[in-house]
Amino acid sequence: MKRWVMACCIGLGFYGCGGVKYIDPSAQGYVSAGLDFNDLARASSLSVDSLLQSAFVKRLGDEVQVLVISDFINDTMQKIDMNQIARRVARSLRESGKFALSVAMSGSGEREDVMIQRSHQARGNQDYRQSTTIAQGNLIAPSYSLSGKVVQRNSSVEGKQRVDYYFLLSLVDLKSGLVVWDHEVNISKIAPSSRSSSW
């Protein structure tokens, strides 16, 4: 009986009314000096909107362009999953119908799908029925490369801490090496120095 009571108490500690609750992602009442879900979602959305409304995309026509994710750099004092940010942006671009994402190659902002190369290594391997292997010349090379960077700069303003974040994205034409689009979203916060840890 005592063990059962103890188990119930432990369970209530995890699942009971201990102050744990869900937060509405759009709520403004819970703001930190660091980058949070709202900041990253807003910066990603503004950047995607900028690209899709750009003169460059309007000139593309109806043909879907193949995109590869290059390096996404975290230049902040926080641990940020840059792959998650890159995927969020790439997902929105895919859903627009203008771009397709290749994971046959990538920079630091994405993980290559290792099974692509491994499946191609089955070609010529007598352990595999060759009629089921992938023939040469089927991989589609990307036309554009998407890269990004998140930068943090801290400064002191009248005894408070100001934190400025810069969310930078650029798209490069891999054939010419030219930047065909870039965008910057600035996020600034100010908080009491004693409570404003942003890392």
Output the pTM of the full model. 0.78
pLDDT band of 10, cuts 50, 70, 90: very low
Q: Which of 77, 49, 60, 70 is nearest to 183 (CA)?
A: 49
Q: Tell me the per-residue pLDDT of 120-178, one tens digit each, with 9 for 90 and over.
A: 999 999 999 999 999 999 999 999 999 999 999 988 877 888 899 999 999 999 999 99
Q: Which residue has the higher pLDDT, 87 or 19?
A: 87
Architecture of domain 33-114+144-195: 3-Layer(aba) Sandwich (3.40)
Where are the domains positioned within the chain? 33-114+144-195
Separation of CA 90 from chain center: 8
Among 86, 89, 96, residue whose Cα is nearest residue 65 = 96
